[in-house]
Structure 1
Amino acid sequence: MPSQSLIRCAALAALCFSSAAAAAGGISVHVADISGKPVPDAVVYLEADGGQPLPKPQKAGEISQKGLKFIPLVTVIQTGSKIYFPNNDKVRHHIYSFSSPHKFDQKLYSGTTADPQTFDKPGTVVLGCNIHDKMIAYVRIVDTPHFGKTDAAGDVVVEAPAGKYTLKAWHPDIVGGNAQEQVLRLGEGTASASFKFSLKPPSTEPDAQAY
């Protein structure tokens, strides 16, 4: 039978773990359009009131090319992160961006030989391919480690410690191009919020044929 001291230690450890999980907290966010339809691929992030020291980016992103498309369409990363661009098509691609946060020109290549790009300024970067005009993708670079992207149901949970934040939500098709925002204070546990976007009409161009 366990001793009383072991039981007390186990109970204390469980309490500490529970308190730490609660203190981490965060927010559950739902994004819909003005008709109430869920909006997938919306970038949602929390910016701490008064700014915050940014931790070193822990994980690089990846945008692949498959079927003459960039996958995923929308990527969100912390400022200073790298993104790899593997080419899984049978044809070569030539990736470029004219966007001011990160302009680059990645010459024709196939496979995984291309060097990663480092995105060291916040903002939005639009990617294209010089060979295949219909290929497009978006990178949202944010000055915070607290971010996520909505799923097919328009939902995402963004984890963050308790404190005062500005909650922002953005999508490449949002009318006006600017993120919507709400000022809020997070406590222990998980809060909730919602956004309604006015979106530009979808493109009527057919998808590119897969190779």
Structure 2
Amino acid sequence: MQYFPYGGRLRRTLWAGLLAAAQLLLVGPALAAQVVLTDETGAPLANAVLLVDGVPSLPADGYVMDQIDRQFVPHVLAAPVGAEVDFPNSDDVRHHVYSFSETKPFELRLFKGSEAPPVIFDRAGVVVLGCNIHDAMLGYILITESPRFAVSDAQGRVSLPELPPGEWPVSWWHSSRLQKGPVSLGELDLGQEQTLSLPVSAAQARPVPMLSPLQQRFKSGY
């Protein structure tokens, strides 16, 4: 009988490959999860973040918080820990962007176009943005350790492409929670288009301007 010294190893490799292929067949192909988020009245909830844990992350093209028509665009940006965020100014006036948030205090003094350097966010948490020139400007950045996340559009729609099928831990965040973290929804199967109602009132869903540093000092009496 002929002896094959690597026969056992070869058989084990083949079996491992077959088992991996069988697991892929059982799990099925990745899907694009389509979810609609609503407030407590059933109205579409924009600018809410849906987060999914326990799944692989996807590469990102980059993270941008623009300033258009004297507003932060997008109003809410979600990004992973360690993300580098660009702050271009597409307006024809200068802006002075700042944040006093514990997650990432920073200041980008008067700038236009692409003059401002990117900001690296190395801690998970909420970053509230303001402009020292235009008090009505308000924006949020949610820095998260979750591998997958998306922000709802004006119709409350959230799209999560290439999400593995199955039940995964899902949570949500909205600016009405300010410095509080995401809220768990438990393990959900997002494989079918569905609507999730969140405990956010219509009043909470509307952006509320915050005080500028000068206004805060004035209100405090110094």
TM-score (norm 2): 0.70
Percent identity of equivalent pairs: 31
**What's the counterpart of residue 6 of structure 1?**
none
**What's the counterpart of residue 29 of structure 2?**
23
**What's the counterpart of residue 74 of structure 1?**
76
The match for 1:92 among 94, 100, 120 is 94
What are the residue-to-residue correspondences of 1:1-211 with 2, within 5 Å?
A: 22-25=28-31, 27-48=33-54, 58-159=60-161, 160-162=163-165, 165-174=168-177, 177-184=180-187, 186=189, 189-190=191-192, 192=194, 194-199=196-201, 201=203, 202=206
Q: Deviations over 1:16-53 (max 9, x none)?
A: xx9699432364322111111110111111022xxx7x
Does the 8 Å CA contact 1:44/1:158 hold for their aligned counterparts? no
Answer with 1 or 2: which has the greater Rg.
2
SS in structure 2 of the partner of residue 173 of structure 1: helix
Q: Deviations over 1:81-134 (max 9, x none)?
A: 111111122221111111111111111111111111111111110011111111
2:99, 2:135 → 1: CA distance? 13
For structure 2, list consecutive stretches of 5 or more residues without a partner in the other structure. Answer: 1-23, 210-222
Task: Write the letter of the residue equivalent to 2:107.
Answer: D
1:169, 1:161 → 2: CA distance? 19
Q: Deviations over 1:63-87 (max 9, x none)?
A: 1112211111111112111111111
Aligned residues: 184
Task: Write the letter of the residue equivalent to 2:75.
Answer: L
Structure 1 residue ranges (4+ consecutive) displaced by more than 6 angstroms after TM superposition: none
Quote the offset at 1:56 in angstroms: 8.6
Does the 8 Å CA contact 2:57/2:148 hold for their aligned counterparts? no
2:178, 2:79 → 1: CA distance? 22
- Which structure features the higher share of helix residues? 2
**CA 1:165–1:56 in 2, change beyond 3 Å: closer, same or farther?**
closer
SS in structure 1 of the partner of residue 104 of structure 2: coil
**CA 1:58–1:141 in 2, change beyond 3 Å: closer, same or farther?**
same
TM-score (norm 1): 0.74
Quote the offset at 1:142 in angstroms: 1.3
Does the 8 Å CA contact 1:25/1:190 hold for their aligned counterparts? no
